[in-house]
Structure 1
């Protein structure tokens, strides 16, 4: 599904660098609040990455076309040129960097352990989740983290893997899952919501960063996006987006 946004900029600084002339096509998994999700009308994409995409495209004189893509196919989509880049809370890892280009980071992240308030679950770290039902989004760094923990610590738990992080919170609330491991930035958004039934009981080291992901070898567009990203940080736009979404500065730590 495609969603188009117009930019107020007219001067095109990325001519010939995008799949469609004058358009930055962006792959997103729309279902990952607060980074990308549908507004109350059920059809308008909103969130941190949506604002970022529009701001970056504006710097390049492009309009944005968002391509809603399931997470398990999002990297294949950029690899086969279905869109120019991915802006969908993509964590930079050395393994991914072997296969894809990445811009400079735009926000930091950590893993978080989320429980229901008043839960009888005593675990306060992921290492204590043995014997419990743990929900996380499949093929994400949370999945990688829990898989590695299971292998290295011989931790045995029931894994509930979902294609969207929203389903993790639904099942924790319903009682099907005992705990969630997810990105801290997502956890904060759910915990800070009015009348939230959730609480964060553990935060990992803030050693992850999100960046824009591009097809391997697309160095020219990567460079242009880095220039635009630098400008957004310098002029305060990144801070403005952060405060709009999180109410606090969550971006300056990566600079």
Structure 2
């Protein structure tokens, strides 16, 4: 039928159709905006931070006041302020930290959390906030006696550890002969060494230095400047690129303006 139409008319019709096709705007594809954890936190008005409350100087639940305190508690408050929201601290523990994280009980875990690949599979880490590693803390008279892993991994040596975290993982991987004593209360572990109920505690170098300050002349950190391994600490975020970008930028600005240094000096210097 179209072939019976005069050529001139066909040409005009095709030209008109082409003009309409060229000038008509293409319909934009409909893309549903994905919900962002960052937007959710701002809309909720609350930042939920999971913390164990048993790892001084990063996080500690003061039984006398009933309040959390520590380096990462101050940083959590500063982060909530930067977001323009309230801070809600959610209690967790090292054995249940990953389970609570996966259950979405909090938006971010803070409190001396070590960056590990197992944790990275479940969420995202911020840029590192601290570099350190595992090192011993012992009674001051035993410093020369426990310099290496081999020195510690001997019959009769009692290594005490808090359960469920990277400290226990290090001990299980490295000590096959020494006795490993699991103590449920991380806050009391160092007193057990001081009293002579254990010989060695392996933990992050920053914690050994802090505990050395709390037990002057009694407990001594063993080569904290040269730990047994490499580790970094960071803040463990639920998997959301927008949230990570915000917290990373906040950490960068805090570092450049000296805000982080002030918090660090309060708890470590």
Superposition TM-score, scaled by structure 1 size? 0.82
Which residues in structure 2 correspond to 1:92-241 (within 5 Å)?
92-119=115-142, 122-129=145-152, 130-131=154-155, 132-150=157-175, 155-193=176-214, 195-203=216-224, 204=227, 207-215=230-238, 217-241=239-263
Report the Cα distance in structure 2 between the residues aligned to 1:178 and 1:194, rounded to whole angstroms. 15
Q: Following TM superposition, by how much is the alpha carbon of 1:121 offset from its aligned partner in structure 2, in angstroms?
A: 8.0
Count of residue correspondences: 229
**Is the CA contact 1:103–1:222 (under 8 Å) kept in the aligned structure 2?**
yes
Q: Name the one with the larger helix percent.
A: 2
Describe the SS at the equivalent of 1:166.
helix
Deviations 1:177-226 (A, max 9, x none): 111111111111110126451011233157211111122x3222222211
Describe the SS at the equivalent of 1:243.
helix
Uncovered stretches (5+) of structure 2, i.e. residues with no partner: 1-36
**Is the CA contact 2:98–2:119 (under 8 Å) kept in the aligned structure 1?**
no
Larger radius of gyration: 2
2:94 to 57, 60, 71: 71
- Counterpart of 2:46 in structure 1 is 23
Q: Name the one with the larger strand percent.
A: 1
Uncovered stretches (5+) of structure 1, i.e. residues with no partner: 1-13, 248-255
- Counterpart of 1:11 in structure 2 is none
Q: Following TM superposition, by how much is the alpha carbon of 1:96 offset from its aligned partner in structure 2, in angstroms?
A: 2.1
